[in-house]
Chains A and B, each alone.
Chain A
């Protein structure tokens, strides 16, 4: 994987084809392990909230298939 979650989060917040201001970047200071973990968990939650906003009909299945 190449793009960091912060960079990907920036892509999301920057919107799509319309020109928008780039997302503000988080501070780049060194953090403790616990803070890093909470930051990572927070990024996960943010990603989930963003994905939850995508309209998703019940009939759409995941992009993998099991075959017997």
Chain B
């Protein structure tokens, strides 16, 4: 089965991003494909390469980057949501790219299931 994920919460205050990333790994481990993860609303904050949690705390951007590197998952930010929150292309961690809401709709049209994490 092909999945599209939508992450709508930021990297730290809520658990949504970490849950989404773990869901993606679990789905891939069971033979499914995560075709695209779209970051919308405050979810765009997960893409910042400046995230530096102390110690061994959850590093949202680092874990998403690893997922993209290991499994070729497409990580796309809503450009308007990103601009509103000061996330520019130069601030992105590896594996993320800036896109548009059309890519969220495209992913939902293509994939068998769309899951929203957050809200």
Same assembly: no
